[in-house]
Amino acid sequence: MSGGGINAHWLMHYRVVTLVNQCRRLIRDEFGARLSLTDPDLRESLGAYAERSASGELKRLMARINEEAGEPEHKPETDAAPDTAARPPRRMYRGQPLPEPAPPPAAGPDDGSTSDKTVIYRGRRVR
């Protein structure tokens, strides 16, 4: 399976699924091939059919899929390597990126006194 450089959750967006279904219909009409949404190489298959197609509509839809889903699959790996090393991968929830967690507060000298900390319990200040 060749999905290392692309977003693994590319098919989790409603707009992308709509575009993919339009492409599948055009491919079925032009080539007689039925592509499955569960195929792990679906994106590569769509791209291959779009290149062979005489339909400008199919090529336009494939460009929109690449645009909506993230990076195009044939991006050179030399550009991706420094970016990946510079920052950790984004946390995702249901195909959407989560906001970055707040940085921990700067720790001052630990003298053991915890009386200056505010404690909130069930929305009310306790200490």
pLDDT in tens, 40-83: 888 889 989 999 888 889 889 989 988 887 754 444 444 444 55
Cite the DSSP H helix spans in the chain. 14-31, 42-52, 56-69, 77-86
Q: What is the pLDDT of residue 78?
A: 46
Q: Judging by beta carbons within 10 Å of its beta carbon (0-12, 13-18, 19+), is residue 70 exposed, middle or buried?
A: middle
Q: Three-state SS for 48?
A: helix
Q: What is the pLDDT of residue 22?
A: 92
pLDDT in tens, 101-126: 777 776 655 555 556 788 888 888 88
pTM above 0.95, yes or no: no
